[in-house]
Structure formats: structure tokens, C-alpha cells
Amino acid sequence: DIQMTQSPSLLSASVGDRVTLNCKASQNINKNLNWYQQKLGEAPKLLIYYTNNLQTGIPSRFSGSGSGTDYTLTISSLQPEDVATYFCFQYNSGHTFGAGTKLELK
Amino acid sequence: QIQLVQSGPELKKPGESVKISCKASGYTFTDYAMHWVKQAPGKGLKWMGWINTYTGKPTYADDFKGRFVFSLEASASTANLQISNLKNEDTATYFCARLMGDYWGQGVMVTVSS
């Protein structure tokens, strides 16, 4: 089974900061990776699909990159409404979520 | 519009069974797979598996083989999750999701407590 490791598990940042969240797969996942945002009490919401494709309706401050085993979600300028937990999700072989990165305001 | 509407919260005792439903509307049910995701209180997301809504064939993640059953009532555009012999660690919110296009149910809280 493919394991997904996210780092950091908790990130504190200020409004306007550039924020980077990381996700590492235990083997090559061929860019078959999505990023989800989950706010408290809500269902997850897709932000990025296939590593770097912005889902319709998602602000352009969100972007994704990566290849092989290493992937990144970047928020170019953090907004208060971005406070949430972010999960990566691989679908290259089976399906696996990462443990999540909780993003809070400093 | 596309919606996935799940059944209501459940309170069960250890050893009992529970069946959760997920009714889809706004699209052709058999065109898209339905996935199930578990989220224990304060924890992350765990992919449980998926069901081919055209053939009815389920696929389970390793941790969800045995007590968990995905089923369909295709004529009613409904997917079901049944959990038997409930354990305390089954306490969680269970989501159904059409990952293609990103449609999720609202989640069902299942509480297992004696």
C-alpha cells in the first residue's frame, strides 16, 4: 500500500504569507494526486487535481506542483478563510489520504 | 443540481449493525463510482473503498474488509454502507463521495457506545 506523509502537521501563518504544504508518497505516484481542503464540520472540498490543476471556482492563490514522490500545495497569499485542514490524496495505486496539515492564523 | 444526501445520525451499541444510505440526484447514478470515506472524531480522512455503480462490484481498502459492505439500490440512485458487529472504534462520520467532479454527502455521524 502507498503511504502518504504530510508535513508539517500544524502550520501557523499570518494573513498575506506565502504558505507551502508538503506531501510525500512512499513510492512514485505519477502525479496522480489531489489536494482537499476541509473546514470544521464540513465535507472536504477539492482544490487541486492531478497535481497542478485548479478545480473550478477555487481562487488562483492556490497552486500545486510536484512529481514522483514529492508534492506541494502553495497558497500565495494566505487569507483568513483559508484556515482549514488540508489533505493530499493519491489515486495512482489504490487510494490513500495523507494525515493532513492543519493551517491556522498566527 | 447534483446532490448526495445521506441518512441521519445513528447511535448504536457494540455488536449491533448499522446501514447508512446515500441518495444521489442530478446525474445518471450508474455513470460514476461512489466512494466511502471515514473520519473519526478529530482525526483525518480514511478512504474505505468504492463501488462500481454500473456493475455493483465493491472494492474495499484493507482496513475495511470483513465487517463493511457496500451495496446499491440502483433503481433509487442510492448507495449504502452497512457495518456489522460495531466496535467503539467505528465511531466516526462516514461520507459518501462522487470523487469525479467532487460531490460529497453531508456525512453521517455513527456513535457506538454501550
Question: Nearest by CB to A43, which of B47, B50, B95?
Answer: B95
| Position A35 confidence tier, pLDDT thresholds 50, 70, 90 | very high
Q: Per-residue pLDDT tens for B84-110?
A: 999 999 999 999 999 988 999 999 999
And the C-alpha cell for B95? 461520507
* Contacts with B55 (C-beta within 8 Å, 6 or more apart), sequence order: none
And the C-alpha cell for B40? 473519526
pLDDT at residue B74 in the model? 85
**B50 touching chain A per CB within 8 A:** yes
* Contacts with B23 (C-beta within 8 Å, 6 or more apart), sequence order: B4, B5, B6, B76, B77, B78
| Position B62 confidence tier, pLDDT thresholds 50, 70, 90 | very high
* Contacts with B22 (C-beta within 8 Å, 6 or more apart), sequence order: B4, B5, B6, B7, B34, B78, B79, B80, B81, B96, B105
CA nearest B96 in A: which residue? Answer: A43
**A46 touching chain B per CB within 8 A:** yes
Strands A10-13 and A101-105: parallel
Judged by CB atoms closer than 8 Å, whether chains meet at A43 and B97 is answered as yes
Percentage with pLDDT > 70 across chain B: 100
Judged by CB atoms closer than 8 Å, whether chains meet at B47 and A44 is answered as no
Judged by CB atoms closer than 8 Å, whether chains meet at A43 and B107 is answered as yes
Residue B17 has a CB neighbour count (10 Å cut-off) of: 12
Question: Nearest by CB to A43, which of B35, B61, B104?
Answer: B104
Q: Residue B42: exposed, middle, or buried by beta-carbon count in 10 A (0-12, 13-18, 19+)?
A: exposed
